[in-house]
Amino acid sequence: MVDSKQQWKAWIYLAPAIVLLLVFTVWPIINTVIMAFQNDYNAMAAVGGQTFTIGIENFKRAVEYRNFLTCLKNTALLCVITVPASTLLALLISAALNSIGPLKKALTTVFFLPYVTNSIAIGMVFAAMFNMVRTVRVVQTAGIINNVIMFFGGEPINWINAGSTYWANMTVMIIYIIWNALPFKILILLGGMQSINKQYYDAAKVDGSSRSRILWRITVPLLSPMIAYVVITGFIGGFKEYTSIVGVFGETMGPVSDKGRLNTMVGYIYDTLPRSDYGRASAAALILFGIILVVTLINLWVSKKRVHY
Amino acid sequence: MKLVLENITKVFPNRNKGEEDVVAVNNFSFEIPDGKLVGLLGPSGCGKSTTLYMICGLQKPSGGKIFFGEEDVTNLPPEHRGVGLVFQNYALYPHMTVRQNILYPLQNLKGDDKLSKEEMLKRTLEVAKLVQIDNLLDRKPSELSGGQQQRVAIARALVKMPRVLLLDEPLSNLDARLRLQTREEIRRIQKETGITTVFVTHDQEEAMSISDMIVVMKLGIVQQIGQPQRVYDDPANLFVAKFLGTPPINVLKGEVRGGMLFIGEEAILPVKGVADQPVTVGIRPEGFVLDERGPLHCQLSGVEVMGRDVSVVATHEASLNPVIRSIISAESGVDTTAQEIRYSLKPHKVLLFHAETEERIPVEV
Amino acid sequence: MASVTMKEQDMRSVTARSRAGSVLAKGMTYLFLMVMALIVLFPFYWMINSSLKTLAEYRLSVPTFWPKTVIWSNYAEAFTTARLGQLFLNTLLVGVVSTLLSLVITVLSAFAFARLEFKGKNVMFGALLATMMIPGELFTITNYRTVNDFGWLNTYTVLIVPFLVSVCYIYLLRQNFLQIPNELYLAAKVDGTSDFKYLWTVMIPLSLPTLISITILKMMGAWNSYIWPRLVANDAAHQMVTNGLRNAFKDAAGDQTNYPVQMAAVALVSFPLFLVYIFLRKYIMKGVSRSGIKG
């Protein structure tokens, strides 16, 4: 049924998408590679007709740039901590949700709520919750989180204000990122659990297996493709972490006393743009792509060994 | 409207490179007189649906011509042919009511054919009355039974007053009881409208029961065309003989020597005008007569009671099938305890086929 | 007889014990879920609670869990301080236009991939899916330059055009289109329906739930977008709501910030999302779980 009329008609239907993709997706991929491998590429000079030697100078400059390692460390730490933690928590919540009758729908609705929020806006709420307000040297309000800590007899902690420690900052970010990452994972995992054949559970009950045994021996293995999926997408998203930090700390990417302390890879790339140093920005973007690719491949490799279908 | 297919061939290029192309329909010619109901019959993969789609215009023949009356429609797109097509799964639009479904083809008419809104609604109601669904017009397809959906599909195909009506496996999605009822219904509608109708089926009983003419196909090649009873009585080859009739024809190895048909060493029937040769013998189940002195000795293995008739199951070493099944009147009194059963045969129910080509060997009467 | 009774008693106590165990487990499950639900909801509660307090009450060393006097004027102040009216209008304009255009492009492409036959279809579709693996940051550098060269900086165009094509949604809709039986298409062909009319009268109505999901997710995307608008259109006239909000309260953790007003602004930005969630939750969850769009 393929006739020539359908041929050109198909291309007309696709034309808008193709044109836009060529300009804003395909060309950028090519151009990024071109810019990254031209030593000391500079947009202004390029327009002026200057040519550049081919090489990996940009990658060297990107790595040697003062805050590159900080950004890489922050990104990697946040990933390595938040992805497993949020996956585990999402798994427990999903399993709990899946096992109850009444209130299941209402609770599912509550747990998905953070998904539809604006991560900058809610980041500002988290900042308010952890913020200490001081006038001169007297603490006026320590923030609700510190209030809770003090209620249980603890010492208030300077979480995000000037003079706070790196790990205090990171703790806030970890809590916020996990809070933010839960709904997507719960949605996927709960959906997966609901599609598991009930007969497996009936069989396990007949055998007298305990609840935790059922979770780890039946649910998790049968759910492993979904778990692999949320872990992989979690890592990909994690390496692109940026706006949640802007939400809590503002564009200073850190407490006032130590700006840029919490910057990430994506932040690094964006900070480079207004300087027109496209060579270094492109190199950094390719490095990020490379890292994501490698991490995804490792994830796939591990899941191939561990995922049971 | 007379419908003529002239040397129609359809070749599908093979998707795997280097492999041979698939010939779905090979050099198919036939003529359907105006106002007839014709069944295209064959096992799956025989090219019957492809033929239907080519008549309809959804597929273009690789060679040959199609005429509606005197008009060559080979290169006409489906909407200009004036055909109505009923799909196997009905293909009703699930989001539209029955009325909207039937109206839909009319809304596509353009130019001089364009109808006024009142005219469209009038036509819809008429055709709905014809297929007896005029009380269901505001329902959605999901609220209808399979038989009702089938009627809606037929109504939708008829509303444009097509020159030719095509039905693809119209009864296969219905349960046994509805199937009987619906095939009568199709026959009635076809008679009332007088539209030349072609339907495709793999069920020989269905085709035989309502068709004016049947076309038996196998692997893209037409085997035989004719009135159902004639094709049944006088099949062109072993395939057709085997395909038609329930229970199926019994097939045995035999030999013709000196104008006499032998099965094993038993002389069965005189066959005039047949040269000496090994043959394949087909015996219709109704061709057996219980006869204590009959020439065909079989080992009795069981009797199935079917009410008016009984089905006698027996074996014979020359049989090419595991069993020989005969249909015998219940009153003839079969001795179910006997080891052996003997038959004589009705000559016109015994068909001879060439042992290798499987073509029919005519016997002079 | 006696031994039988013994056994029965044993059995009974075992069932009783296991029933007690399962009641306890149920209770623990609910407790766990309730605690987690409270943690999830707490930031929203704290946002609303804080947004209605006076600055003085907010700064009390012992926090109050509901404002002593409810200060609705915080919302009015937030609305003017953050120029929310202007921001809402900008975002709405960008969101509506880009959603409409994006729907048209998505529907046309998905239809071509699902129903039309053309050379190179599978290769094209594969290439399209492959672009999904590349992080968007890689495109941003060149796109920033491209829109700069086009002279689009600080226009609505720059906020709308570059992200009109979403491979994810094309994929999602194509899958949906493929579920519509091919016979419906053939039936329409026999009746002389044009491809376009078939698309409009059959495929689109049948895929309406998916199209609604795409619409909502796309609108939410515009509402929550931050990085790209900050780069290319951060001027007052074109600023989007998230950027405006962040810029209006630059000093996130400062000592002098009027937190109640800031929380009121945050709440105002969040409420439209809550409304959409309450009424269209089904579509959001379906769209997200099918397309795997994360954040």
Domain boundaries, given as residue ranges, for chain A: 66-120+173-306
Write down the pLDDT at residue C41. Answer: 94
CA closest to C195 among chain B residues: B108
Q: Does B227 touch chain C (CB under 8 A)?
A: no
* H or E, element range at B214: strand B213-218
Write down the pLDDT at residue A173. Answer: 95
User: What ipTM is given for this predicted complex?
Assistant: 0.86
| pLDDT reading at C254 higher than 60 | no
| Cα–Cα distance for residue pair C97/C188, rounded to 1 Å | 32
* pLDDT tens digits, one per residue of C23-53: 888 888 899 999 999 999 999 999 999 899 8
B95:C206 CB<8 A? yes
* pLDDT tens digits, one per residue of B39-97: 999 888 888 888 999 998 888 899 999 999 899 999 888 888 889 999 888 889 998 99
Q: Give the closest of B58, B109, B110 to C190, CB-based.
A: B58
Q: Which of residues 211-230 of A touch C (CB under 8 A)?
A: 211, 229
Q: Does A90 touch chain C (CB under 8 A)?
A: no
Give the amino acid at B246.
T
Pairing of strands B37-41, B196-201: parallel
**Over residues B148-165, mean pLDDT:** 91
| pLDDT reading at A270 higher than 70 | yes
Instruction: Give the strands of the sheet with B196-201, arranged side by side.
Output: B83-86, B164-168, B196-201, B37-41, B213-218, B221-226
Phi and psi for B136 in degrees, rounded to 5? -110, 10
DSSP conformation class of C178: H
C59:A211 CB<8 A? no
| pLDDT reading at C2 higher than 50 | no
* pLDDT tens digits, one per residue of B18-50: 677 888 888 888 888 999 999 999 888 888 888
* pLDDT tens digits, one per residue of A241-261: 999 999 999 888 888 888 889
Model pTM? 0.81
Q: Please state at what angle helix B117-130 crosses helix B98-107, rounded to 10 degrees.
A: 130
Average pLDDT, chain C: 85
| pLDDT reading at B238 higher than 90 | yes
Instruction: Give me the residue spans of the domains in chain B.
Output: 3-242, 247-361
Q: Does B67 touch chain C (CB under 8 A)?
A: no
C205 upstream amide cis, omega within 30 of 0:
no
Chain B to chain C Cβ contacts (< 8 Å): 53
Q: Give the closest of C186, C193, C202 to B58, CB-based.
A: C186
B160 CB neighbours in chain C (<8 A) are 191
Which of the other chains make 3 or more beta carbon contacts under 8 angstroms with chain C?
A, B
Write down the pLDDT at residue A181. Answer: 93
Query: Any idea of the CA torsion for C286, C266, C50, A105, to the nearest 10 degrees?
Result: 0
CA closest to B78 among chain C residues: C190
Answer positive or negative: Cα dihedral of A70, A74, A76, A80.
positive
* pLDDT tens digits, one per residue of C157-209: 999 999 899 898 999 999 899 989 888 998 998 888 888 899 999 999 999 99
Write down the pLDDT at residue A113. Answer: 92
**Over residues C56-69, mean pLDDT:** 81
| Cα–Cα distance for residue pair C93/C238, rounded to 1 Å | 10
Helix intervals (H) in chain C:
2-51, 55-58, 73-81, 84-115, 121-131, 137-149, 156-160, 167-178, 182-190, 195-198, 204-206, 208-224, 227-232, 241-248, 259-291
Helices and strands, counts by H and E, chain B: 8, 21
Average pLDDT, chain A: 86
Write down the pLDDT at residue A221. Answer: 85
- Tell me the CA end-to-end span of chain C in Å, nearest whole number: 68
| Cα–Cα distance for residue pair A79/A85, rounded to 1 Å | 10
Average pLDDT, chain B: 89
**What count of Cα atoms within 13 Å lies in the side-chain half-sphere of residue B309?**
12
Q: Does domain A66-120+173-306 have CATH number 3.40.50.170?
A: no
Homologous superfamily (CATH) of B3-242 is P-loop containing nucleotide triphosphate hydrolases (3.40.50.300)
C197:B80 CB<8 A? no
CA closest to A241 among chain C residues: C295
Structure tokens at C181: 């039986």
| Cα–Cα distance for residue pair A243/A117, rounded to 1 Å | 13
| Cα–Cα distance for residue pair C42/A114, rounded to 1 Å | 11
Chain A to chain B Cβ contacts (< 8 Å): 3
Confidence class for position C295, pLDDT limits 50, 70, 90: very low
CA closest to B166 among chain C residues: C190
Answer positive or negative: Cα dihedral of A243, A247, A250, A256.
negative
Q: Which of A283, A246, A267, A225 is nearest to A72 (CA)?
A: A267
| Cα–Cα distance for residue pair B187/B211, rounded to 1 Å | 8
A131:C36 CB<8 A? no
| Cα–Cα distance for residue pair B112/C129, rounded to 1 Å | 47
CB-CB neighbours of C226 under 10 Å: 20
A100 CB neighbours in chain C (<8 A) are 26, 29-30, 33
Write down the pLDDT at residue B363. Answer: 86
**What count of Cα atoms within 13 Å lies in the side-chain half-sphere of residue C142?**
22
